Structure 1
Amino acid sequence: MTVEAPIAPALPYGRLIPVIVHFDDLDALGLLHNARYPLLVERAWTELWNGHGVRFDGDWHAAGDACNAVRELRISYEAPVTSPGVYAVHLWLDRLGTTGLTYGFRFCSADGTRTYAEGARVLVRLDAGTLRPTPWTDGFRAVGRELLRPTD
């Protein structure tokens, strides 16, 4: 589902993807449950790549670059999300290797100005037949380079 977010200030790197927090995403204290943050980040990441034709439709052999697995996830919670509504996930790449990548993220307000959580995730592209690491395609790498966070 595509969500329209308020106009966000221009980001110096990466993309801001709108996400929706629903009432049932909140825990008994009325806070966004800690396990929902990675789920919402994953949905934003999936939306970003679906927009570039990278998707999983049930066939791992046809999935190409969508055939990947999480190797590592790190997240820190900065401020509580206390209500349902439209938020955003700021996504970027910190590293684009031959078979793996590290992407950074911020779970933030819809306009990108307030950070609620931030972290990084390491993905490895897999060969569907062997489940061993295999290189990203040239097309994926071209889009990935556009998402790289400047190092200076």
Structure 2
Amino acid sequence: MTAEAPTAPVLSYGRLVPVTVHFDDLDALGLLHNARYPLMVERAWSELWQEHGIRFDGDWEAAGDACNAVRELRISYDVPVTRTGTYAVHLWLERLGNTGLTYGFRFCSADGAVTYAQGTRVLVRLDAATLRPAPWSERFRAAGRELLRPAD
């Protein structure tokens, strides 16, 4: 008996970022290791934000909006990934607050039609000197607004 992966509607919000599953991403059973999903989501977000000029280059003071920390991560694994190759991460923002945000993600087939895992992650923007919450810049907020999921 094989499990059927849930299908997703045509992508109408967010961004689909290609990712590659390599042989060494698989566990002893030949499945994508559970710890690799969040790593690939993180890499996809990093790529997306770099397109907007937001990146961390080793200097927390200069990092601006890239100076942030994860407050919460939730992920559910729907159907195992059983082979290497090209997949995608569908990314969007659920909420964009003054100092925090919640983003949603799906680890999916390259075309976005099949969902293998999905979840949310809460980030808090930090002041580099105090490590206390700090407001997102207007540039970041403008880019973030483009990624907001429409209300259902």
Same fold per TM (> 0.5)? yes
CA drift at 1:11: 1.8
CA drift at 1:10: 5.7
Paired AA for residue 108 in structure 1: C
How many residues of Structure 1 are paired with residues of Structure 2 in the alignment? 144
Q: What is aligned with 1:21?
A: 21
Describe the SS at the equivalent of 2:122: strand
Q: Which runs of 5+ in 1 are unaligned?
A: 1-8
CA deviation profile, 1:51-110 (whole Å, cap 9, x unmatched):
100000000000000000000000000000001111000000000000000000000000
CA deviation profile, 1:107-128 (whole Å, cap 9, x unmatched):
0000100000000000000000
The CA distance in 2 between the partners of 1:76 and 1:85, in whole Å, is 21
Q: After superposition, where does 1:3-22 map in structure 2 within 5 Å? A: 11-22=11-22
In the superposition, the TM-score normalised over structure 1's length comes to 0.93
In the superposition, the TM-score normalised over structure 2's length comes to 0.93
The CA distance in 1 between the partners of 2:66 and 2:77, in whole Å, is 28
Regions of 4+ moved over 6 Å: none
Paired AA for residue 38 in structure 2: P
1:76 paired with 2:79, answer no
Q: After superposition, where does 1:1-152 map in structure 2 within 5 Å? A: 11-152=11-152
Q: What is aligned with 1:6?
A: none
The CA distance in 2 between the partners of 1:53 and 1:26, in whole Å, is 32
How large is the Cα RMSD of the aligned pairs? 0.9
Describe the SS at the equivalent of 1:44: helix
CA contact (8 A) 2:37 2:107 kept: yes
Paired AA for residue 86 in structure 1: T
The CA distance in 1 between the partners of 2:132 and 2:145, in whole Å, is 23
CA deviation profile, 1:13-42 (whole Å, cap 9, x unmatched):
000000010000000000000000000000
